[in-house]
Structures are given as C-alpha cells and as structure tokens.
C-alpha cells in the first residue's frame, strides 16, 4: 500500500490503483510525497474493481446535488454508474473507500477524502483549521475566518512581504501548538493579481492563460451580468453568467507551484510553532482594525466554520442515517465540541487577533495591519 503521511498527524493509504490513478492522487495530495505504509492508515482508498452489493435504498439528488445508495450495510457515493462505498471499521478508527475504477477523484476528495482525514485528525489530537497559513519569523501565522473573507488573499499578501508559504484553506494544528500543511490547491482570483506582483510575474503558463481567458469572458459578459438582480428569464440567464464567470475567474495553483513562484525550497511538510491566529471578520466600509481577542472565542468560531465547510460530509452521514434510522445523528455536534477542546489547548500559547476588514479589499492593507500587530 502507498501511503501519504500528513506531518505525522493523519494518513491516507492507496491500494489497487494503476499508475494513472496514482498520478491523480499525487496531484490531490500535493505537497506531500507518497511513501511506503509504516502502519494502518486513517483513510484508505481501494481501487480493486470489486462490484458493490446491490442497493436496497437509493437517495437521489436533493439540495446537496449528490446521489447515494445503501446496500443494507454501507453507504455508497454515486457518480453516474460508478460507486465509491464508505466502509468504516468496527472501531471507527479507519475508513475504507472502495471505489469503482474511473470514479472521479476530484469529487471524491472534495466530498469524502479531505473531510474524512480532517475528522480522523481530531482523534489524533489535531484540527484542520479553516485557514490559510504562512510562516513569519519562524512561527506560523494562521489567517482564518468565514468563507470568502480574504484568507487566501491576505496570506499571499504576507508572502509578498517576505513570509513563507504553509497552506491554503486548511491548516493542521495540533494540541501541541504546532501547525502544518493540509493538501489542497490554492485558488487565486484574477482581481487580486495586481496586488501580488511577485506571484503575478511567476504564474505558470497554464494559469496565466486561464487568467487571460477569464478576463475576456468577464469583459464580454459584463453587460449581461449587470442584469443579475432582475427577475424573470433575463435575470436567471444573467445570474447563470455571473456564476460561470466566478468559477473560471480564478487560477488553481498547487501548493508546490505557489512555493516555486516565491522561490521557496524548505520542507513543505514541516511543523511550525503556532505564533498567531488572525481571525478575519468581514465588515462594511473601508476601515481595517486589529485587536487582541479571546482564544476561547476564536476556538469556538474556528470549530463552527470548520464544521460548516464539511457540510457535504455531514450530509452523507444524514443520508446514511436516513437509510438506517437506528444510527446516531450527533456526529456534527460531537465533532464541533471535540475540535473546540483541541483548539483551546492549541491556542493557549498563541496570540489571537480579531481582524475586521471589508472584502474585497487590497490585501496588502490587511497584511500590513496584521504585520504591525505581530
């Protein structure tokens, strides 16, 4: 079995995969290298081609857009005719994902693999914090907050000011007070690139082309998108155009590509002592303020936003409980409470800053305000 060790916090195993699938898994797990398994993995991907048992209950797409099937024992996530069955071990310490060949890995990682690793990390006294992270003067600075509050943009602006890259969207933080990366790509919006000249000048060719195409699409559809607030058919078409532009209007860079752009050559899997958590709150107006905050307050907010970002995972649990109502339905609440406890210990030795700022905004302003407060 091939294994990915996430800085000693949690691990993913892969078995039965061909070279093409292994290459796709490697891209999803960047910047962590594949290695030999030294013990049981917390989450295991199996691609053995074993046909799943016949379904006794199918849950068609609801508000979450997923289709699942239940065979009387386990839930399977569907992608067309292909299934990936979730098989937890009897003691709950390991989750095996038995997938049909050709099951789309991007969907699987987004919906199941990443949240399963994050849930498993809590059993190892660590939390995947919904944050970007950089290293400043040998200590980790987490830029956390609700979705679309400027975490990535602020972290990249800190990079422009001399910080070192750690992670985007999620950062593993242990109760021991150390932070490390979590594998996920970095989404860079087109509008922010003029504020990030170092990154803009070093974009990979494919990302540069994507940004150019997005700019053309945004310009061509701008008159239509201005009508998105209208009702009726015109408003619906305009809203669809707005969503389409929003999807393509950012470049997806791997963590390794971000590190290369900034000339970073240190160990991407390193653990770094946690120094500061800058918790963003989006506010109206133009002013930016930074004040010290209560670590317990921050721990509660971070546990809640992390759980919210794992909503697909918890909806899968709801579907499984629908198929078998005898199962407990308290996983989300238990998870929030457990993460909060770990975070309270992790933040005990760190400084917590409440950063109130508008978004979108020049991220350099936010980064400078954070740096001045460090």
In this structure, is residue 335 part of a structural domain? yes
Q: Compute the average pLDDT of residues 58-82.
A: 92
Can you point out the beta strands (E) in the chain?
Answer: 2-5, 11-15, 35-36, 43-46, 57-59, 68-70, 75-79, 82-88, 95-99, 126-136, 139-145, 164-167, 170-174, 178-181, 186-189, 250-253, 272-282, 289-292, 351-357
Q: How confident is the model at residue 38 (pLDDT cuts 50, 70, 90)?
A: confident
Question: Which of 253, 276, 296 delimits the end of a domain?
Answer: 253
Residues 161 and 273 in one domain: yes
In this structure, is residue 262 part of a structural domain? no
Reply yes or no on whether the pLDDT at 369 is more than 90: yes
Reply yes or no on whether the pLDDT at 334 is more than 50: yes
Per-residue pLDDT tens over the stretch 261-314: 999 999 999 999 999 999 999 999 999 999 999 999 999 999 999 999 999 999
Reply yes or no on whether the pLDDT at 336 is more than 90: yes
The average confidence (pLDDT) of the chain is: 90
Residues 246 and 309 in one domain: no
Percent of the chain, pLDDT > 90? 80
β-pairing, 95-99 with 126-136?
A: unpaired
Round to whole Å and give the CA distance between 9 and 128. Answer: 10
In this structure, is residue 261 part of a structural domain? no
In this structure, is residue 260 part of a structural domain? no
Reply yes or no on whether the pLDDT at 246 is more than 60: no
Query: If 0-12 CB within 10 Å is exposed, 13-18 middle and 19+ buried, where does residue 61 land?
Result: exposed
Q: What is the pLDDT of residue 236?
A: 47
What's the angle, vertex CA 192, arms to CA 190 and CA 198, rounded to 5? Answer: 105
Round to whole Å and give the CA distance between 323 and 320. Answer: 5
Q: What is the pLDDT of residue 188?
A: 95
Higher confidence at residue 249 or residue 78?
78
Residues 354 and 296 in one domain: yes
Q: Picking from 12-26, 230-244, 322-336, which range would have the lowest pLDDT averaged per residue?
A: 230-244
Q: What is the dihedral of CA 14, 18, 19, 22, to 10 degrees?
A: -30
Higher confidence at residue 319 or residue 250?
319
The residue with tokens 């409470």 is 337
Per-residue pLDDT tens over the stretch 195-225: 999 999 999 877 776 666 555 555 555 565 4
In this structure, is residue 258 part of a structural domain? no
Q: Determine contact, residues 15/45, Cβ cutoff 8 Å.
A: yes
In this structure, is residue 61 part of a structural domain? yes
- Tally Cβ neighbours within 10 Å of residue 351: 17
Residues 63 and 102 in one domain: yes
Listed residue (229, 86, 255) closest to 170, CA to CA: 255
Main-chain phi, psi angles of 38, to 5 degrees: -105, 0
Listed residue (364, 4, 44, 17) closest to 182, CA to CA: 4
Q: Determine contact, residues 74/85, Cβ cutoff 8 Å.
A: yes
Q: How many residues does the chain have?
A: 374
> How many domains are there within the chain?
3
Per-residue pLDDT tens over the stretch 168-190: 999 999 999 999 999 999 999 99
Q: Picking from 4-8, 231-235, 241-245, 256-260, which range would have the lowest pLDDT averaged per residue?
A: 241-245
Percent of the chain, pLDDT > 70? 88
Q: What is the pLDDT of residue 33?
A: 98
Q: How confident is the model at residue 51 (pLDDT cuts 50, 70, 90)?
A: low
- Tally Cβ neighbours within 10 Å of residue 226: 11
Q: Picking from 128-142, 294-308, 313-327, which range would have the lowest pLDDT averaged per residue?
A: 313-327
Q: Determine contact, residues 127/134, Cβ cutoff 8 Å.
A: no
Question: Which of 123, 140, 164 delimits the end of a domain?
Answer: 123
Residues 230 and 307 in one domain: no
Q: What is the pLDDT of residue 244?
A: 40
What CATH number corresponds to the domain at position 145? Answer: 3.90.228.20
Residues 180 and 196 in one domain: no
pTM of the model: 0.91
Give the bridge partners for 352, in sequence order: 277
Q: Picking from 79-83, 201-205, 240-244, 317-321, which range would have the lowest pLDDT averaged per residue?
A: 240-244
Listed residue (355, 9, 364) closest to 161, CA to CA: 364
Round to whole Å and give the CA distance between 47 and 259. Answer: 32
Residues 157 and 230 in one domain: no
In this structure, is residue 16 part of a structural domain? yes
In this structure, is residue 263 part of a structural domain? no
Round to whole Å and give the CA distance between 178 and 117. Answer: 18
Residues 356 and 222 in one domain: no
Q: Compute the average pLDDT of residues 361-365.
A: 98
Q: How confident is the model at residue 12 (pLDDT cuts 50, 70, 90)?
A: very high
Residues 85 and 159 in one domain: no
Residues 177 and 225 in one domain: no
Residues 136 and 278 in one domain: yes
Round to whole Å and give the CA distance between 27 and 105. Answer: 10
Residues 240 and 285 in one domain: no
The residue with tokens 């386990």 is 74
Round to whole Å and give the CA distance between 312 and 149. Answer: 21
Expressed as residue numbers, the domain containing 314 is 126-187+268-373
Round to whole Å and give the CA distance between 239 and 230. Answer: 9
């Amino acid at each position: 079995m091939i294994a990915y060790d996430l800085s000693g916090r949690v691990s993913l195993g892969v078995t039965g995969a061909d070279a093409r699938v292994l290459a796709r898994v490697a891209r999803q797990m960047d910047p962590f290298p594949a290695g030999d398994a030294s013990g049981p993995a917390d989450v295991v991907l199996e691609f053995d081609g074993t046909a799943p048992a016949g379904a006794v209950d199918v849950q068609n797409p609801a508000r979450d857009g997923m289709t699942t099937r239940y065979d009387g024992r386990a839930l399977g996530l569907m992608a067309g005719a292909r299934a990936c069955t979730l098989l937890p071990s009897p003691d709950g310490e390991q989750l095996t994902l038995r997938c049909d060949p050709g099951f789309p890995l991007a969907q699987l990682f987004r919906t199941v693999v990443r949240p399963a690793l994050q849930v498993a990390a809590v059993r190892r006294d660590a939390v995947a914090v919904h944050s970007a992270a950089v290293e400043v003067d040998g200590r980790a600075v987490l830029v956390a907050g609700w979705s679309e509050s400027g975490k990535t943009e602020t972290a990249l602006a800190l990079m422009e000011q001399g910080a070192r890259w750690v992670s985007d969207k999620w950062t593993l933080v242990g109760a021991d007070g150390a932070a490390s990366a979590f594998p996920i790509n970095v989404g860079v919006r087109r509008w922010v690139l003029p504020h990030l000249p170092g990154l803009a000048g070093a974009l990979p060719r494919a990302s540069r082309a994507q940004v150019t195409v997005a700019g053309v699409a945004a310009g061509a559809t701008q008159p239509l998108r201005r009508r998105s607030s209208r009702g009726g058919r015109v408003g619906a078409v305009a809203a669809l155009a707005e969503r389409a532009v929003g999807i393509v209007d950012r470049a997806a860079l791997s963590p390794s590509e971000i590190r290369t752009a900034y000339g970073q050559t240190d160990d991407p899997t390193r653990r770094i002592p946690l120094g500061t958590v800058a918790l963003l709150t989006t506010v109206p107006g133009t002013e930016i303020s930074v004040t010290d905050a209560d670590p317990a307050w921050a721990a509660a907010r971070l546990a809640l936003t992390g759980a919210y970002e794992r909503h697909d995972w918890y909806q899968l649990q709801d579907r499984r409980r629908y198929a078998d109502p005898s199962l407990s339905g308290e996983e989300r609440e238990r998870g929030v409470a457990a993460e909060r406890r770990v975070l309270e210990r992790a933040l005990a030795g760190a400084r917590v800053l409440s950063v109130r700022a508008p978004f979108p905004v020049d991220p350099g302003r936010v980064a400078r305000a954070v740096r001045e407060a460090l």
